Amino acid sequence: MKNLDFLKDYHKNTKRDYYKERKQGLEKVNFAIKAKQFGRLYWDGDRDYGYGGYTYDGRWKKLAKRLIKYYKLNNNSKILDIGCGKGFLIYEIWKILNNKVYGLEISKYAIANSKKEIRNRIKYGNAKSLPYKNKSFDLAISINTLHNLEIEDLFNAISQINRVAKKKYIVVDSFRNEKERINLMSWQLTCNALFSVKEWEWILKTNKYNGDYSFIFYE
């Protein structure tokens, strides 16, 4: 189990004012309720509800290349992206390797609005129960998804990821100090699992996670 930060520069590239950009207080309750439906408002509605418009811009190409290099993926590699959203990362991997890359996603809106070239590779489903055979993937990826799960579902999802793939790479929101905890709490709309690095590492160990991982921090 290694901490591999393939996304460090990604998060830092976007400047966020955690307090001004996200309305705080009671007003935010409604935004969070709507955001958690992962429907149109979350992806392409006003910024108060989430992404504020998430269109393809090629940003995941760099990550695709890093994953391919590190995990030595080739045209025969079978890859699964859990919580793949609009499938932008699997699209990038598919463009490079033209291989067996698939996604699993709980948002019907995201699937319907994914890149059409890879849409039929995305299955509707929940990370807590993965409809695949043991070790059927060479690599399972889950980027910024698992912190949205409630604890029981999270534990199940980690065991499921362990089960279906040989290698794994997951990325979740976390914090290293009080400032980052408050920043994350102020920014987030959909997180159910708000844990420190120490807590996440305990959760991974407790669930016998045997893949790699990384964290997003709100500095």
Looking at beta carbons, which residue is closest to ligand SAM? 85
Q: Which residue's CB is nearer to ligand SAM, number 83 or number 211? A: 83
Binding to ligand SAM by CB under 6 A, coded x per residue (else -) over 152-191, reads ----------------------------------------
What lies within 8 Å, CB to CB, of 181 at 6+ separation is: 175, 194, 196
Pairing relationship of beta strands 122-124 and 165-174 according to DSSP bridges: unpaired
Q: Report the SS3 class of residue 83.
A: coil
Q: Which residue's CB is nearer to ligand SAM, number 178 or number 203? A: 203
Please classify residue 118 by burial: count the beta carbons closer than 10 Å to its beta carbon, then call 0-12 exposed, 13-18 middle and 19+ buried. Answer: buried
Residue 116 Cβ, how far from ligand SAM at the closest point, in Å? 17
Residue 210 Cβ, how far from ligand SAM at the closest point, in Å? 21
- By CB under 6 A, which span of 18-26, 71-79, 114-122, 125-133 interacts with ligand SAM? 125-133
Residue 213, interface with ligand SAM (CB under 6 A)?
no
Report CA Rg, the chain. Answer: 17
